[in-house]
Structure 1
Amino acid sequence: MTASRPRKASSLGTGVNTVPQGKVGPFFHEDNHPWLTTEVRDVASGGEGTLTAIVHEESRAGTVRVAHIRPASGVEWTAAVTNIRLVTSSDHVQQQ
C-alpha cells in the first residue's frame, strides 16, 4: 500500500489570521510551519496553547490538516487548522 501525496487545503481565505501551509515532511507533518511553537487559539473551543504540530491526515473526504495544541496544563488536543488563530498581545489586553 503506497501513501498518496497530501493535497493542499483549498480556499483558506485571506487576512492576518489565515493559516499558512508549511512544507510537508515524510511523516505528513508540516515541519517548517511558521506558527510552530507560537501561541494559538482554537476558535471552536476557545482554548489557547502552543501549536506543536500540523499533521496531514487522510479521511474519506480527502486530506485534512489537523493542528496539535498544548496548553499550559500539558494535555494536548487537536483542532482543524481552519479553526486556529494566532494569539496577539492585544488579545491578552482585551481579556484583562
Structure 2
Amino acid sequence: MEYSMVNILITTKVDKMGRTVIPSPIRKILGIREGDHVEWVIEEGRVVVRKKIQVNEDAVRRRFKELRAKAPKCFVEKEEREDKWALEYWALAKLGL
C-alpha cells in the first residue's frame, strides 16, 4: 500500500510521562515493528512521525569504495568531512531513499 496516499485520523492520548501509542493501523501501513526507531519532525507547523531507515554504514562505505574504483577519477570527489549524519542523508538521497 502506498502510504503517502492514505488519509487517516486517529486520536491518541499523551500520558504524564509524555508518551503516546502509535496506533496499530498506522504501524501496519508504515511497517513499524517492535524495536524500530521513528523520527519526529516538525514541518510547516505539523508533526510528522516516520519510520527511521536503518543504514548499515559499513555496507554503504564498501559500496562507495566499489563505485569510486569504477568511476573515472575526474568525477570522484573525496569526502573530507566525517559528519556521519550528513553522509547518511547524502547517501540515501543518492540512492533515492
Structure holding more strand per residue: 1
TM-score of the alignment, normalized to the shorter chain, above 0.5: no
Provide TM-score, normalisation by structure 2. Answer: 0.27
Provide TM-score, normalisation by structure 1. Answer: 0.27
Structure holding more helix per residue: 2
